[in-house]
């Protein structure tokens, strides 16, 4: 909304023609136009990076949703081998951790254009733990020579590949979130940075027009009603 209103502000300023001729460079028409272009680009970039983050999140959710039923099948297959009672107990213990540890994030695909969260630290940790538990389960299966299932999806080579895919999906979310966070920082600097941000610059433009035409002039009334907002800082 701030960017749209800033474009309206520039439109009015442009309409003043040669009369609008401030000495301060940041509020000259050329500078305002450049700032508007940057602001539009930054806002679009946040949206683009957010969509990429949500796509990565959705892909991870779908992949990790397969983990719990698979781990149960693995333990059931493990019990049919010559593994010791203690080894089977260990496998079941790991499976309980896999079944009970739900990643702290949305468990169904979200809209591609939904807002990315402000933090993913909690959910990231949960996914890291799921990967850790699955790794331990695979390593345990490897130690038993008689674990040699005929089912392709239960074979060690398949599980190893799936573990790699889980790690990649998890890393992709973290990388995409970093991109979202950085794009937000860039956008916020463009919009709200002291003195040079769109919010402060719009105020300077209004003050200049007020000094140029007077507080009761119709020109100032045109732009004085254009609202700009700034988020409250903690």
Give the 3-state DSSP-derived string for the chain, with helices as H, strands as E and coil as C. Answer: CHHHHHHHHHHHHHHCHHHCCCCCHHHCHHHHHHHHHHHHHHHHHHHHHHHHHHHHHHHHHHHHCCHHHHHHHHHHHHHCCCCCHHHHHHHHHHHHHHHHCCCCCCCCCCCCCCCCCCCCHHHHHHHHHHHHHHHHHHHHHHCCCCCCCCCHHHCHHHHHHHHHHHHHHHHHHHHHHHHHHHHHHHHHHHHHCCCCCHHHHHHHHHHHHHHHHCCCCHHHHHHHCCCCCCCCCC
With CA atoms as reference, report the closest residue to 107 among 50, 60, 177.
60
**Rounded to whole angstroms, what are the CA distances from 74 to 13, 133, 220?**
70, 13, 73
How high is the pLDDT of residue 182?
95
CB-based contacts of 199, cutoff 8 Å, min separation 6: 2, 191, 192, 228, 229, 230
How high is the pLDDT of residue 232?
84
How high is the pLDDT of residue 105?
47
Residue numbers of the chain with a pLDDT score lower than 70: 101-114, 118-125, 234
The encoded tokens of residue 140 equal 């345990």
How high is the pLDDT of residue 108?
42
The string over 84-109, giving b where at least 16 C-beta atoms fall within 10 Å of a residue's C-beta and e elsewhere, is eeebbebbeebbebbeeeebebeeee
Interval 111-166: pLDDT, tens: 655 677 766 655 566 899 999 999 999 999 999 999 999 999 999 999 999 999 99
How high is the pLDDT of residue 59?
94
- Measure the CA–CA gap between 208 and 65, rounded to whole angstroms: 59
For residues 193 and 73, the answer to whether their CB atoms sit within 8 Å is no
How high is the pLDDT of residue 100?
79
Contacts 24+ apart (CB under 8 A), 17-20: 19/212, 20/208, 20/209, 20/212
The encoded tokens of residue 117 equal 């969260």
């Amino acid at each position: 909304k701030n960017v749209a209103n800033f474009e309206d502000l520039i439109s009015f300023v442009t309409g003043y023609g040669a009369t609008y001729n401030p000495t301060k460079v940041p509020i000259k028409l050329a500078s305002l136009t450049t700032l508007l272009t940057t602001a539009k680009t930054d806002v679009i970039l946040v949206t683009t990076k957010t969509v990429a983050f949500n796509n990565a999140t959705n892909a991870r959710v779908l992949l990790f949703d397969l983990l719990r039923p698979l781990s149960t099948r693995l333990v059931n297959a493990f019990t049919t081998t010559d593994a010791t009672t203690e080894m089977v107990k260990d496998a079941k213990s790991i499976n309980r951790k896999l079944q009970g540890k739900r990643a702290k994030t949305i468990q169904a695909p979200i809209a591609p254009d939904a807002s990315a969260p402000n933090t993913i630290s909690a959910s990231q940790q949960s996914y890291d733990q799921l990967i850790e538990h699955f790794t331990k389960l695979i390593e345990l299966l490897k130690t038993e020579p008689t674990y040699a299932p005929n089912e392709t999806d239960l074979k060690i080579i398949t599980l190893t590949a799936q573990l790699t895919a889980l790690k990649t999906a998890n890393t992709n979310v973290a990388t995409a979130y970093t991109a979202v966070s950085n794009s937000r920082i860039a956008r916020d600097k463009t919009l709200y940075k002291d003195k040079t941000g769109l919010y402060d610059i719009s105020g300077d433009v209004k003050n200049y027009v007020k000094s140029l035409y007077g507080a009761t002039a119709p020109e100032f009334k045109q732009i004085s009603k254009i609202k700009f907002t700034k988020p409250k800082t903690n």
